[in-house]
């Protein structure tokens, strides 16, 4: 069985401005993920530069920086079984035209440059991005969801 993981998710400025916060969060909660950190914040140029450091020098970097700092985002730490892979599936392909029907990007985005949401692409990226946006004391993981109890209760497998 795959392990419980954490991943970083950000509802981008276009998602916040369009009033999609509740609908997007509901997708993760409906799937059974536990949100252990969440905040609304304005991304500063310094914070954006840390987040997107791997894109420095690329032709789209300036547009990306403008976009992510153009309004508030909702930053989240999402926890659960195979969180990175599963959350990315819920989010959909970066280009909404290639996103699976029913994914967040297929449902709410039209163009790649304004694709509503970000989700970490690996456990390493998730850890790095969580550290950029959250202090350890801003993560509240000392509670157990109902689904978490069902998925991770090893006692029920003992015979």
- Residues classed as catalytic: 118
Q: Are 159 and 11 in contact (CB under 8 A)?
A: no
Burial 17-34 (b: 16+ CB within 10 A, else e): eeebbeebbebbeebebb
Contact between 82 and 2 under an 8 Å Cβ cutoff? The reply is yes
Cα 82 to its chain centre, rounded Å, is 13
Q: Which residues contact 151 (CB under 8 A, 6 or more apart)?
A: 32, 80, 81
Using alpha carbons, select from 88, 83, 87 the residue that is nearest to residue 141: 83
């Amino acid at each position: 069985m795959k392990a419980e993981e954490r991943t970083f998710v950000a509802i981008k400025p276009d998602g916040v401005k369009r009033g999609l916060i509740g609908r997007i969060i509901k997708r993760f909660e409906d799937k059974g993920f536990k949100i252990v950190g969440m905040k609304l914040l304005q991304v500063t140029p310094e914070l954006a530069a840390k987040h997107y450091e791997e894109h420095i020098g690329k032709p789209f970097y300036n547009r990306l920086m403008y976009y992510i700092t153009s309004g508030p985002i909702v930053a989240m730490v999402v926890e659960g079984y195979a969180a990175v892979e599963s959350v990315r599936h819920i989010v959909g392909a970066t280009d909404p035209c290639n996103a699976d029907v029913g994914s967040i990007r297929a449902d709410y985005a039209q163009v790649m440059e304004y694709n509503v949401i970000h989700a970490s692409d690996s456990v390493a990226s998730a850890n790095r991005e969580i550290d950029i946006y959250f202090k350890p004391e801003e993560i509240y993981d000392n509670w157990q969801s109902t689904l978490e109890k069902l998925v991770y209760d090893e006692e029920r497998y003992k015979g």
